[in-house]
Every structure is written in C-alpha cells, then in structure tokens.
C-alpha cells in the first residue's frame, strides 16, 4: 500500500473516534439490558452516497454489516432534497434492516453549512414488539410482531408521537422500548454533531475527498490481501439441528483474483418456523468471518466490504423471502462462519479455527399469560450467554466467548434486578472444550429459577444440541449443548433446542452451552499446558487419562 496522506489519515482516525462516541452514547442511554449491558448494537458514519466510512467497534456483525447496505436503501427511499435538519428515518423491516423485527435501524442526515454532507446510522435490539415475540413459533413474519416500513421517525426535531404510541401499544415492555428508541435517536444526534464539529475543525465543506480516500485505501488493501490467497473453489456442508429435523447448509467459496464469491446453492429450503434467515443477515456474518482471516487489520467500511459477494437461491433457509418467519434468524445466521470456515480451511489450512459453539444461547423470557390476572408483575427479558470458540491455529479456543456475534453475556446482577429470576449457578463447564494439541474453548453451566411463586415462559432456539462443534486436523469435537429442568433436585429429560417451555415456580432451568472443537491430536498437547488445565479445573483427571493419555 502507498504511504498515507497524513492529513487524510488524521481525519480518518478522528472519524473512528466519532463512531465510538456515537455507540457509547446509545449504550449509556439505553434501557434494555441487552443493549446497555450486552452491546447488541451498531453505529456508523456514511458519506453523501450512503457508503459506510466508519463503524463503532462495539456492535455485532449482524447489525454492522446489514447497516452498511440498509443505509443505501433508506438514502434512496427518501429524497435528500426534502430532508431537513433534525430529520431521522427508521425501519425494522427484516429484509432492509437486520433480519428480524426486533432490530430498529435509524438514519439521520448530517447537515453542515446548510446542506447534507453525509449520514449517521445505528441499530439496536428492542426487547418486545408484540406478536408471539422472540421465539421460533410464528408461522410468518406477521405473527412475530409489528413491522414498520421506512418512515420519518423525527421531523425537523419533532418526534412522530403517533408512531411512538403505536410502538408502545404493541409491546409488553413499552417503557423500555420508548427509552431505547430515544437512545437510538441520541446515538444519531451524537454522531451528527461530532461529524459536523470535525468538519468545522478541519475546514471541510464536504466529505467527498476523505470518503474516497478511506474507501479506495481500504479497497486496495483488501485486494492486496486477496491476491495472496490461492485461486480456486472449495465446498463445505454443515449439518445443523434445525427445528423439527436436522438440515444441511451448503457453501461454495470461490477465490478469484479480485474478489471472493460465496454461494449457498444446495442449502435446505425454508422451514415453517422462525429460524429462517434473510440473505442480508446471512451475508453479514459470512463476510465478517472472511474478513477475520483476510485483511483483518483493514478497517471495516464500504471499501473493504466491496470484494466480498454472497448469493443463495431464493427460498433457501439462508435466503428467506417475505413473509417467512425470521424472529430467531440468528440461530442459523450465526452458524454461517463455521460453514464458511469449512471452505476456507481447505485453502488456508494453517489459518482457520475449528468450529465453535457459534450460535449464542439467546434465552428470551417473559411472564406467563395469566400473570396479569393473578396480580404478578409482567415482564419481558432477553438473556444472552455464550459457549466456547473453536481452537485457533497455535492457540486454544476462548471459553464462554461471543464469536461470531460479539454480544457480551448477560450480567447476573442486572438480570436479577429487572426480572423475578434468581441464578444459583454460573460456571465454566469442565471438559466441554474439544481435546487437541490446542483445546477448544469451554462452555458454561448455568442454573436459573423463579424468585417466588411466579412461573415464566422460555422461548428456546439454540443450536449445537445434536451436532457438536467439529475439531480440525485430529482435534476432537466440543461437547454439545443441553437444556433441561431440575425438579426437586432431580434432573428431568433433556429439552429440545427449540420451542416454548414453561418454567414453573420451584423448578430450576439448567442449560449447558456447547464447547468449541480442538485442533491437532490430543497427544500432542504440551504437558505443562495440560497441567495448567488440570490445576484450573478446565480438564478433569479422568479426561487427562482417557483422552490425553496422561496419568495425574
């Protein structure tokens, strides 16, 4: 890459600082724990054409990379000439925004010296949008809640109060939703204000020169990284649990001289339950996985994303079409990195991690239908926990770590403060990481119950119950996940990974998140490292003997 233009580079760095402040503004103002504590957001700055120039590091690929395309759609939906200072546009359309109804995407034009010079945008998860809510049981998207087409949320600084009232009237958590919408607005406003201040400080009247520099530099760097890869096409099949039966995800990855093309042809068709994935969301996670290996030091923007293309047959489960139910699209969408890495590992065998837990253990909870009638406090809450990542080339996997989602695990104290639940256990799950020269990351053992006489509902849609994270190069598979009830101290039969579950007062919900796969034969593990595993309680003496062949 050619030497950077110092002034433009300084402004680029300043933009990266602006988006970080923008993202933190939303987190500080948010009401819902999944936003405030878990960082389930995105925030970004865009040029006049709608090209993403910078994104906040805090955020999920499913929000960030879908936002990169959604802004172009919204920017073209509304006339720039009709935009006024203080306008903010919004949608939660799954096929425009972030794949399901609970994610709200906002777009705000940035005015500088009286004219639009760019845009700020952000996305976050709202806890409840009516319908059947956050679960896989909907027959179509209309069952799943309130769909809001692209519209003007704020008109010249005045919020659309009727729209806000409609959103609140269709939610079991109206106060949290209203607070989170204002947090999204604050995020847009913070980005717009700081961008205009930056332009004033540097004497800029428009962003075109800076935008072209950012995008062309990033694009060139990504092409240089692609040029170092072997040319060819590689295929992979990933079997996942599905809903009523296991299904196959197929991928063909083609590495060409100036682009990569990922094709999902052969993937199973859509199902009747809400685990279908819009292509925008499947693309977001697939490209993120590739970017983690190919040019990972290049900032994520329109330039670095441009060489990656993703296609899939319409109607396959990774290219669901309206009005398919998609509420739990992350269940399979977050499995696509493992699908992609199965291809890439054939081209770059020394650079790709083993499979991991991947799909976060997203546990939406809410009051039972009769709660209000009997005087119980209604609530809706979404908990997020993670399993272990796959072993990395030359390094162990990470335990209880959110990859690929990046969504931080729910905090116990915060959860207990806002809902009538009590955690009695949360610890690493010994022996759950796949054995190998480099061990897979461990999952978690978590137990939760009602604090009193109140029952609650759980809406399950998790993966890796039937199909473990596979190891590579002689490494063993990670442990599968489990979900079960404990009644009176006695464990009940395991629950399926998807469906509605009623947790009655006096029962304890037990869930064990999956471990990541290992890399390399277990007998090649460094004895000193294995002794550390034993000392720290990550590996049992029985596993050390039976799997690693080491007497303790």
3-state secondary structure 201-226: HHCCCCCHHHHHHHHHHHHHHHHHHH
Closest CA to 480 of 459, 501, 494, 492: 494
User: How does the average pLDDT of the chain come out, rounded?
Assistant: 94
436 burial type by CB count under 10 A (0-12 exposed, 13-18 middle, 19+ buried): buried
Q: How would residue 99 be classed by pLDDT, with cut points 50, 70 and 90?
A: very high
Give the C-alpha separation, 190 to 184, whole Å.
10
Tokens read off for 491: 């464990």
Give me the phi and psi of 180, to 5 degrees please. -70, -35
Across the range 312-338, mean pLDDT stands at 97
Across the range 305-317, mean pLDDT stands at 97
Please say whether the beta carbons of 429 and 442 come within 8 A: yes
Q: How would residue 3 be classed by pLDDT, with cut points 50, 70 and 90?
A: low
Most confident of 137-146, 364-373, 491-500: 137-146
Q: How would residue 4 be classed by pLDDT, with cut points 50, 70 and 90?
A: low
Across the range 518-545, mean pLDDT stands at 96
Q: SS3 for 332-392, per residue?
A: HHCCHHHHHHHHHHHHCCCCCCCCCCCCCEEEEEEECCCCCCCCCCCCEEEEEECCCCCCE
State the pLDDT at residue 198.
96
State the pLDDT at residue 82.
95
Q: Which residues of 331-361 are buried (b: 16+ CB within 10 A; e: fewer)?
A: bbbbbbbbbbbbbbbbbbeeebbbbbbbbbb
Closest CA to 396 of 545, 538, 292, 544: 538
Q: At residue 488, does pLDDT exceed 60? A: yes
Give the dihedral of Cα atoms 122, 123, 127, 129; nearest 10 deg. Answer: 110
Q: 474: number of CA atoms within 13 Å, CB side? A: 12
Tokens read off for 260: 């990569």
427 forms bridges with which residues in the sheet?
445
Which residue in this structure is represented by tokens 């970017």? Answer: 291
Q: At residue 491, does pLDDT exceed 90? A: no
Give the C-alpha separation, 354 to 397, whole Å.
9
Element (H, E) at 7: helix 6-29
Tokens read off for 174: 């109206």
For the beta carbon of residue 549, count every other beta carbon within 10 angstroms: 10
Q: Is 269 strand, coil or helix? A: strand
State the pLDDT at residue 447.
95
Please say whether the beta carbons of 411 and 446 come within 8 A: no
* 391-409 per-position pLDDT tens digit: 999 999 999 999 999 898 8
CATH number of 6-218: 3.30.450
State the pLDDT at residue 528.
95
State the pLDDT at residue 451.
87
385 burial type by CB count under 10 A (0-12 exposed, 13-18 middle, 19+ buried): buried
Give me the phi and psi of 115, to 5 degrees please. -140, 160
Q: Give Cα separations from 398 to 153, 162, 216, 391 (angstroms).
A: 41, 46, 34, 8
pLDDT higher at 2 or 352: 352
* 407-446 per-position pLDDT tens digit: 988 889 988 888 889 999 999 999 999 999 999 999 999 9
State the pLDDT at residue 377.
77
Domain positions in the chain:
6-218, 353-552
State the pLDDT at residue 489.
80
Q: SS3 for 95-162, per residue?
A: CCCCCCCCEEEEEEEEEECCEEEEEEEEEEECCCCCCCCCCCCCCCHHHHCCCCCCEEEEECCEECHH
pLDDT higher at 200 or 369: 200
State the pLDDT at residue 427.
96
Give the C-alpha separation, 161 to 153, whole Å.
9
SS3 content of the chain, % helix, strand, coil (to 5): 30, 25, 45
Q: How would residue 2 be classed by pLDDT, with cut points 50, 70 and 90?
A: very low
Q: How would residue 505 be classed by pLDDT, with cut points 50, 70 and 90?
A: confident
Please say whether the beta carbons of 219 and 1 come within 8 A: no
Percent of the chain past pLDDT 90, that is, above it, reads 83
* 29-43 per-position pLDDT tens digit: 999 888 888 888 999
Please say whether the beta carbons of 381 and 544 come within 8 A: no
Closest CA to 448 of 486, 500, 492: 486
State the pLDDT at residue 362.
87
Give me the phi and psi of 201, to 5 degrees please. -65, -40
Across the range 464-483, mean pLDDT stands at 97
Q: At residue 1, does pLDDT exceed 60? A: no
């Amino acid at each position: 890459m050619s030497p950077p233009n110092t002034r433009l580079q300084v402004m680029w760095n300043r933009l990266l600082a602006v988006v970080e402040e923008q993202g933190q503004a939303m987190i500080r103002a948010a009401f819902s724990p999944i936003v405030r504590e878990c960082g389930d957001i995105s925030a970004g700055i865009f040029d006049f054409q709608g090209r993403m120039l910078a994104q906040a590091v805090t955020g999920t690929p499913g929000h960030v990379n879908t936002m990169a395309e959604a802004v172009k759609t919204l920017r073209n939906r509304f006339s720039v000439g009709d935009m006024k200072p203080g306008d903010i546009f919004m949608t939660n359309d799954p096929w425009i925004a972030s794949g399901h109804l609970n994610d709200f995407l906002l777009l705000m034009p940035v005015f500088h010296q009286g004219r639009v010079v760019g845009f700020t945008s952000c996305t976050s998860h709202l806890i409840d949008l009516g319908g059947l809510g956050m679960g896989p049981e909907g027959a179509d998207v209309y069952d799943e809640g309130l769909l809001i087409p692209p519209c003007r949320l704020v008109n010249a600084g005045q919020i659309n109060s009727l729209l806000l009232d409609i959103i609140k009237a269709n939610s079991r958590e109206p106060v949290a939703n209203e607070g989170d919408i204002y947090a999204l607005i604050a995020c847009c406003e913070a980005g717009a204000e700081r961008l205009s201040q930056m332009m004033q400080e540097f004497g800029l009247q428009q962003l075109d020169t800076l935008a072209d520099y950012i995008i062309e530099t990033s694009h060139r760097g990504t092409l240089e990284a692609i040029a170092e890869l072997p040319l060819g096409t590689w295929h992979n099949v990933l079997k996942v649990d599905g809903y009523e039966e296991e299904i196959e995800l197929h991928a063909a990855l083609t590495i060409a001289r100036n682009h990569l093309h990922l094709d999902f042809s052969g993937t199973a068709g859509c199902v009747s339950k809400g685990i279908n994935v819009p292509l925008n969301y499947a693309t977001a996670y697939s490209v993120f996985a590739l970017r983690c290996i190919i040019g990972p030091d290049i900032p994520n923007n329109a330039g670095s994303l441009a060489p990656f293309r993703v296609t899939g047959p319409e109607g396959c489960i990774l290219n669901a079409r309206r009005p398919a139910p998609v509420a739990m699209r992350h269940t399979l969408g977050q499995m696509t990195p493992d699908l992609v890495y199965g291809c890439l590992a054939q081209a770059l065998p020394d650079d790709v991690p083993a499979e991991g837990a991947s799909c976060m253990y997203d546990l939406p909870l809410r009051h039972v239908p009769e709660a209000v009638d009997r005087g119980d406090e209604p609530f809706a809450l979404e908990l997020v926990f993670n399993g272990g990542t796959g072993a990395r080339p030359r390094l162990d996997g990470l335990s209880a770590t959110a990859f690929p989602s990046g969504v931080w695990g729910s905090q116990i104290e915060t959860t207990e403060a806002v809902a009538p639940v009590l955690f009695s256990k949360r610890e690493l799950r010994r022996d759950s990481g796949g054995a190998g020269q480099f061990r897979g990351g461990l999952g978690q053992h978590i137990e939760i119950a009602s604090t009193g006489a109140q029952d609650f509902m759980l809406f399950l849609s998790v993966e890796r119950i039937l199909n473990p994270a596979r190891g590579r190069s002689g490494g063993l598979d990670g442990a599968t996940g489990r979900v079960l009830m404990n009644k009176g101290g006695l464990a009940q039969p395991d629950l399926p990974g998807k469906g509605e579950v009623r947790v009655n007062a006096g029962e304890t919900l037990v869930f064990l998140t999956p471990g990541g796969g290992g890399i390399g034969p277990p007998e090649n593990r460094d004895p000193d490292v294995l002794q550390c595993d034993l000392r720290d309680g990550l590996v049992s003496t029985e596993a050390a003997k039976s799997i690693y062949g080491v007497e303790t």
